[in-house]
Amino acid sequence: MRTMQGRLIVFEGVEGCGKTTQIAYLRQWLEESGAVEQFVKAGKVSKLVTTREPGGTALGQEIRQLLLHSTTEQIQARTELLLYAADRAQHVEGVLRPGLADGALILCDRYTDSTLAYQGYGRGLDRALIDQLNQIATGGLESDLTLWLDVDVKIGLERARQRGIHDRMEQATLEFHQRVQQGFMELAQSFPQRIVRVDASLDEQAVANQIQAIVQQHLAKWYP
Ligand code: T5A
């Protein structure tokens, strides 16, 4: 009888807050510290998986392309919302649920809170509608832990700009991104059991150290 139980750790935050960088740091730490190997040997975890939204599946990559790089015509706010939801439904059914059922420890770049922050607070779409769509897309699957990488919007946008990639969302106004930031702040206040704030204004290693401490605490609780 297998006793494996997968867990979902989500990274959230405004543009350039450092999610991609920190997922790589955490993955490396989990592998090099022997933590994952230890849980795998003990039969508690099957493997470590990293994924993202939008774009965590083959179909999702096509949706991601439409969402972030399409230039044929302006994407309406509701269309945008539905495309993110479609990407999520595909990702949950194709990657997250099977992975968790198999006992994987999953690190995911963005999930449902991004939709609330960007399409809700940012675009001003109705919160109840977004909750409903998130419910449809996820079938109720929530993260076990969400790390909110909190950094000033201007610093995040500047980091993203320096990297030299400017997708459709990054080109939105500063006010839009400030509303998104407000969204993440309010969500963290509303769901303190699930969302943990990380000070992402520090250097990469200092941010990684905070994340390792939080994750270590949760792993000890999940896999005693
Ligand atoms: N979206 C997504 C929605 O609107 N609704 C939704 O439901 C979902 C799921 C996704 C876009 O879609 C939106 C949100 C986004 O706009 P994306 O390319 O995945 O697009 O965009 P981001 O998630 O914002 O990813 P980015 O790659 O832009 O930002 P990251 O991953 O947060 O940042 P990262 O790690 O790439 O770092 C950016 C730069 O900063 C440097 C890095 O080296 C890099 O150059 N950096 C630091 N510099 C100084 N100090 C630190 N601590 C640093 N950490 C990283």
Ligand 1 pocket test: pick from 114, 180, 207 the residue with the most ligand atoms within 8 Å of its Cβ: 114
pLDDT at 164: 74
Domain extent at residue 59: 7-222
Contact, 48 vs 27, CB < 8 A?
yes
Count other Cβ atoms within 10 Å, centred on residue 47: 14
175 C-alpha to ligand 1 centroid (Å): 18
What is the mean predicted confidence (pLDDT) over 27-36? Answer: 95
Look at residue 38 and tell me if it is in a domain.
Answer: yes
- Ligand 1 atom, smallest distance to 200 CA: 52
pLDDT at 145: 98
Find the helix or strand (DSSP H, E) in which 209 lies: helix 204-222
**Rounded distance between C-alpha atoms, residue 219 and residue 88, angstroms:** 26
What is the mean predicted confidence (pLDDT) over 104-120? Answer: 98
What is the mean predicted confidence (pLDDT) over 67-85? Answer: 93
pLDDT bin (cut points 50, 70, 90) of residue 163 is confident
Look at residue 20 and tell me if it is in a domain.
Answer: yes
Q: Residue of the nearest CA to atom 49 in ligand 1?
A: 203
Q: Residue of the nearest CA to atom 43 in ligand 1?
A: 21
pLDDT at 1: 47
pLDDT at 5 exceeding the cut of 90? no
Burial of 170 (0-12, 13-18, 19+ CB in 10 A): middle
Q: Residue of the nearest CA to atom 24 in ligand 1?
A: 15
Contact, 167 vs 68, CB < 8 A?
yes
For the entire predicted model, the pTM comes to 0.97
Phi and psi, residue 44, nearest 5°:
-95, -30
Contact, 60 vs 137, CB < 8 A?
no
Look at residue 97 and tell me if it is in a domain.
Answer: yes
pLDDT at 19: 98
What is the mean predicted confidence (pLDDT) over 68-74? Answer: 87
* Tens of pLDDT, residues 170-196: 788 899 999 999 999 999 999 999 999
Lowest mean pLDDT among 130-134, 210-214, 220-224: 220-224
What is the mean predicted confidence (pLDDT) over 41-65? Answer: 97
Lowest mean pLDDT among 50-54, 100-104, 159-163, 196-200: 159-163
Look at residue 2 and tell me if it is in a domain.
Answer: no
Look at residue 148 and tell me if it is in a domain.
Answer: yes
Lining ligand 1 with CB less than 6 A are 13, 15-21, 53-54, 68, 84, 110, 114-115, 118-119, 159-160, 163, 167, 169, 203-204, 207
32 C-alpha to ligand 1 centroid (Å): 25
Domain count, the chain: 1
Look at residue 1 and tell me if it is in a domain.
Answer: no
User: What CATH number is attached to the domain comprising 75?
Assistant: 3.40.50.300
pLDDT at 2: 52
Look at residue 13 and tell me if it is in a domain.
Answer: yes
Find the helix or strand (DSSP H, E) in which 50 lies: strand 48-52
As beta bridge partners, residue 196 has: 147
Q: Which residues of 4-39 are buried (b: 16+ CB within 10 A; e: fewer)?
A: bebbbbbbbbbbbbbbebbbebbbebbeeeebbeeb
Look at residue 17 and tell me if it is in a domain.
Answer: yes
Lowest mean pLDDT among 2-16, 21-35, 207-221: 2-16
What is the mean predicted confidence (pLDDT) over 13-28? Answer: 97
- In the chain, pLDDT over 70 holds for what percent of residues? 98
- Ligand 1 atom, smallest distance to 206 CA: 52
